[in-house]
Amino acid sequence: MALTAKLALARERLRRGDPRADESLAELQRDMSELIGQLRDFAHAIHPPVLADQGLLEAIEAQATVGGLGLASLADRIAIVNGTLHIDSTPGRGTTLRAEVPLTAGGAGHG
């Protein structure tokens, strides 16, 4: 990992009394700040605030409106084959997704 290499370089510069050690540490600080920001964004993506504030069903619905990604995309793909996607979420009982896709007249495996 690049951060590990940069940290090793900064430690070596400090050990030798190299004046560039401060520059290395400042760069590491910027890199770490950027990494923490990316991690925060990632955490919000997998645990949106709406989940904590309003519950799972609302969080799913909010994610399903991310430009055709996630559940909206799944529902669209199921609809293409004349199917439906059902979402049932009850506090304390969990969430169930059920996709219903009719079989074609030719039977399974045809088409």
Q: Any idea which residue has 């709406």 for tokens? A: 50
pLDDT of the residue at 15 = 95
Residue 89 bridge partners (DSSP): 95
Q: Which tokens hold the place of 53?
A: 């504030």
Model pLDDT for residues 54-101, shown as the tens digit of each residue? 777 777 776 665 644 567 677 778 888 888 988 888 888 888 889 998
User: Does residue 64 contact residue 48 with C-beta atoms inside 8 Å?
Assistant: no
Domain boundaries, given as residue ranges, for the chain: 2-46, 54-100
Q: Average pLDDT of 18-26? A: 94
Band the pLDDT of 9: cuts 50, 70, 90: very high
Find the mean pLDDT for residues 33-39: 88
pLDDT of residue 111: 47
User: Chain-wide mean pLDDT for the chain?
Assistant: 80
Is the pTM of the predicted complex or chain greater than 0.85? Answer: no
For residue 77 the two structure tokens come to 């793909």
Contact in structure between 50 and 59 (CB atoms under 8 Å) = yes
Q: What angle do CA 44, 63, 46 make, to 5 degrees?
A: 30
